[in-house]
Chains A and B, each alone.
Chain A
Amino acid sequence: MSIQQPPDNGAENSKSPVNIEAVTPSNEAQTKKQPPPEKPSDVRRRSHIILSFWLIVLCLGLPIWWKTTTIYRADLPLQEMLDWSDGKACRPVFPLRISIQANALQEQEAQNLLRLTQHALDDLNDFSGHHLRLQLAPPSATEHHDRDSVLTIRLVPGDTTTAKFDPHEPVLDITYPPNGIPSPTSSSSPLATYVASQLRSTFAEEQATISYLLSTNSIPSDHRPQGLPSDVSDSLSKRTTRSLKYSPTYHLTFSLFTSGSLPSSWDIDGAIGEYMKPVLDVLSPIHNFTIDTQVQLYATPGVQNQVLNKEDLSSFINAAEWPLSPSIGGAPTVNFIVFVGNQTIAAPSQTPGDSDTLGPASHSWLIPQWGTVYLLPLADDTAHLPAEALKQPLLTFTSHLLSLTGTPQSGSLPLRLSTLSRIRSADLLLRASSTLGSLARLALALPSISIPSRVADGVSKTMHHLRLACETLGGPEGLAHARIAEAEAERAFFEKSMVGQLYFPDEHKIAVYLPLLGPVAVPLVMGLLNELKAWRKRRREAAEAGREKKRE
């Protein structure tokens, strides 16, 4: 076995004339018998067979496989979504129109005063997103507050310069001394400065809140004022974490908990009607409230100490046993609990920021985004709680409700509420934008997640309403659009069918494909390789033959 044949690539490539030449002059003793040369038509047919197999695999198999196993990903406007979350798509601007009613002044004087005040305001203001624009109310206008403007300033001649809010309407009454009217030529006036500073202090909180909201979201820094004092931003962050997520409806649940069997009834209906209803009515344009009440006996609190420390307050609610289950339906529940017991709350710790959490008499505390607990000491044999005994608890609940809904703390009530609606719309707008951004980042980060068309629908709806909300920011439509946008964005983000595909590991695919594709692919690939080799050999031989011919 000393015959070392050149490695042969198969029977088919031993037919060319060169090959035969190479073998025939061999001087070896036992020449191997060679098969007859193959017909060129056979060679061609074999090439066609291999080619057609590969064509079927590539043109039919691959597309079908691709079509049937691909994960549906709806087209999302990713860049636009990221723009929204980066704040590039919308610049939140709150143009606030303030009308001035100065029926006692001449048109010319009033215009002059207006110009000076506007100047003073613009000098004071450093936040472009929150702009106060003054306008003169027509003198013939009625006493009533103009719907388009957020605040009406009523200038009335008087003895000294005073400012007073109307308790029922967003109207600021300013009296001025007779000599306070600026002359048409003067470039400054004490009255104008006074009005400007009044306005600024009125809207300072709103401005701070909105700029805080913008700063916590990734709005580019040139859109927001710099240098929000750290204590202001601390208290604002505390307030925003405390307030409930915006919802058009809130369930208010009043519960009377007692550790024994008494008292077992209370006149809560009357007490709510007397002490709480007025505030609820005022809030009704922004929120709807549903009210229910319950009495729960034999309730043991989570903490049994006589004196409750700050740490105890968070575990006082016995969530396992007290039936405070969240309400069904979309609206969140605000819980107001009257606990009959003579526990007391330990003096609040030294941090000044906490002092407003505890009630004045330290009978109550507010649980952020949840509700309020009020400890009511009672004689042991009280069987029925009359409405008068509930006055203090309900007043506490009312003030806590305002802070739970996120109402600002200064100003007259109507003004606070209109501020609330602006803050809420800004908040919702930013929330929806950041949800969009998260969705876009998620879609980019997980290439194997499926994106159903519902998500794309939700995104386009969200962006439509966001655009509308951005245009009408500050008005009631703005709030409505922002609300829809936020709901749609949440729905798109939490789409259920997006999650299922995530947990299908790639190893499973290998386990399914390999047994089928492996054995099929090996002959196909080997056939192709052999054919390519044979083809190259044929070409080389043909070239050599041609060269020899030329030489000849």
Chain B
Amino acid sequence: MRQFLSLLWLSLFSFSIFASAADYHEQLNLRPLPLSSLLASFNFRSNTTLDDFDKGNFRFFPRSLAQILQHAGTRELHLRFSLGRWDAETWGARPWDGAREGGTGVELWAWLEADTDEEADHKWLTLTNALSGLFCASLNFIDGTRTTRPVMSFQPEGDHSTVTNMHLLYGVLPHEVVCTENLTPFLKLLPCKGKAGIATLLDGHKLFDASWQSMAIDIRPICPPGGECVLQIEQTIDMVLDIDRSKRPRDNPIPRPPPGDQLPCDTSKPYNSHDTCFPADHTNQEWTLSQIFGKTVKGTCPLADSTIPPVCIQVPDSRSVFVSKDVHEKKNPDGLSRCFDIAPSTELEMMLPRLDEGASTTTDIVTPETPLLYAERSFTGHGQERGGVQTILRNPSPDTAVEFIYMESLPWFMRIYLHTMEARVAGHSHANKSLIQQVYYRPALDRARATQLEVRMRVPPASTVFLTYDFEKSILRYTEYPPDANRGFDVAAAVITILDPQPETIGSHGGGAAKSARRFAAYTLRTTSLLCSLPTPDFSMPYNVIIFTSTAIALTFGGMFNILVRRFVAADEGPEAGLAVVLGRLKGRLRGMLKR
């Protein structure tokens, strides 16, 4: 991870140098992960000067998006489409330190320029509606009940020294299923449209087949010291591909277990007979780009900065990587990554061969960095009414405490009891009051506003903290239930922003005021989203109620009415009634017919 970080910083640093020279840059980073996974990080970044932006002249910056930004008065925008779960136990720390990913579904936060809250809300509505059309996502469902205004968790990444009246709004749609129709507009925003350069690898079939994927769009103004202010759009796609799964042939995509004699066995384990097998965790196999992505990289985008190598891979120098000819390999000094320069019109094919049998498994991939914090969130509670949320936060570091902000935006129908919120170190039975340092809580309004909960807390070194609180599930109105009400209601992921302990030192490393602002968060992670099942009525209920009450009313009314208006006489005084009368009448009628 340190290597990855350093590479990131290197690219950021080099960007700040070349910002004036080239306005577009793209790079693909490949990183083999344990258990035969592969992390592919695509990064596309383009700039336009604020002057050109205001005048409406667009070359690299997409016009369709710019028009929306101008119309909605948006100064900075972050949009995330994510799918799947990042397996931190196996894969380690997240790419980009978690700064370029969102919770499952769609996440959007933006800084809008507005004088009043109402104006900001109005612009936010415009923005979400327009983006929903542009990205074919249901962003227009981000209404007042899904919008919050985080206080502690987010800081602008860009340079907004001239603007004072900015409003941060945050909306999330955990239920949204990200799919190909979101990728197509995403690719349309790129200057080379996925027709040249690394974007040619992006294909909906592979991207949405990944174990985890996250598409991000970040727009921020950047003012380099002494230079002209630019508006930067950064598009990022990260995905973790399962190599075995990706290598399935296209014509036979149904996965089948391999026959017993082809099962890879873990040879380091002792076997007492030759017909037993412990399946190996990480099957050591070779892969090529075209096997995994279905195609090769078609040249480079001619607009891209040619000084930045388009493709990099993070494997130890001791491993050999085969590439097609005319591709120049450049090993980085850290010994753990290498980059490839491609001529504009050559195709890049890359092959990572299988390791020799004797080589130790520790050297074949770069060991993933341990993340600063592990987080898991789950529901507790019982019955249809009482619920609870428990978040397990584990600090793996043996000597450093982690300070972070835990943010949840909960739907209004989860009414939380704030007094039940407590943090407890594992192994202790009592809550530890010193763990929670600050709480910002904005209660929900029924059908109007979501609950917003931001907790600033710290986890001591090498310990696990349980953060728990209870809530009550409310009963919705009949028409408020979605068609699939029994599936449950998605609850958005909690956002955990780990604060940077020493912003100054890293700021000087990055070199610039903008950098130190960027380093507000050392690491960001999101828990998985939850599925909350609310008490769901039987939806034929209204008709049942109508029929049932009608019957009851009819019975009582009929009886009562008859009692009131009938005259009661002795049984032998009344007119003859019953079956005998009816039979007698029928007989008489029959007789009459026979006579005729």
Contact = CB atoms under 8 A, between A and B. Distances in A.
B302 A262 contact: yes
Interface in A1-39: 1, 4-5, 8, 10-12, 32-35, 38
Contact of B58 (A264, A293, A515, A516): A293
Which of A46, A269, A298, A511 neighbours the largest number of chain B CB atoms within 10 Å of its CB? A298
Contacts of A38: 567
B20 interface: no
Interface in A510-529: 511-512, 515-516, 518-520, 522-524, 527
B188 interface: yes
Given A42-B567, A49-B565, A519-B554, A295 B59 contact: yes
User: Main SS of the interface on chain A?
Assistant: mixed
Interface in A226-241: none
Interface string B476-506: 0000000000000000000000000000000
A265 interface: yes
Given A297-B192, A328-B67, A515 B564 contact: no
A202 interface: no
Give the interface centre of B56, B188, B193 by most chain A CB atoms within 10 Å.
B56
A527 B559 CA distance: 12
B2 interface: no
B257 interface: no
A261 B303 contact: yes
A216 B509 CA distance: 73
Given A53-B561, A516-B546, A298 B57 contact: no
B562 A523 contact: yes
Contacts of B302: 261-262, 264
B68 interface: yes
Nearest to B63: A294
B59 A265 contact: yes
Nearest to B568: A11
B541 interface: no
B138 interface: no
A35 B567 CA distance: 10
A520 B126 CA distance: 53
Given A297-B193, A329-B71, A515-B547, A1 B580 contact: yes
Interface in A486-526: 511-512, 515-516, 518-520, 522-524
Interface in B306-360: none
Contacts of A42: 567
Nearest to B564: A49
Contact of A520 (B55, B62, B553, B565): B553
B62 A323 contact: yes
Given A49-B565, A323-B188, A523-B558, A292 B59 contact: no
A33 B126 contact: no
A268 interface: yes
Contacts of B588: 4
A327 interface: yes
B133 A516 contact: no
A536 B523 CA distance: 94
Nearest to A9: B575
Contacts of A35: 567, 569-570, 573-574
Contacts of B562: 523
A515 B62 contact: no
Given A5-B575, A11-B574, A298-B195, A323 B71 contact: no
A33 B558 CA distance: 29
Contacts of A299: 193
B573 A328 contact: no
Interface in B42-68: 55-59, 62-64, 66-68
B57 A292 contact: yes
Interface string B528-567: 0000000000000001001101110111011001101111
Interface of A: 1, 4-5, 8, 10-12, 32-35, 38, 42, 46, 49-50, 53, 253, 261-262, 264-265, 268-269, 290-299, 321, 323, 325, 327-329, 511-512, 515-516, 518-520, 522-524, 527, 531
27 contacts: A8-B575, A10-B575, A11-B573, A32-B572, A35-B574, A46-B565, A50-B565, A261-B302, A268-B57, A269-B57, A292-B57, A292-B66, A293-B56, A294-B59, A295-B58, A296-B193, A298-B192, A323-B62, A325-B134, A328-B130, A515-B551, A516-B550, A519-B557, A520-B553, A520-B554, A523-B561, A531-B565
The 7 closest A-B pairs by CB, nearest first: A519-B554, A292-B56, A35-B569, A298-B195, A515-B550, A35-B573, A516-B550
Given A264-B302, A292-B56, A516-B554, 16 more contacts: A1-B587, A5-B576, A11-B567, A11-B574, A12-B567, A253-B63, A261-B303, A269-B57, A295-B58, A297-B303, A321-B188, A327-B67, A328-B130, A520-B557, A527-B561, A527-B565
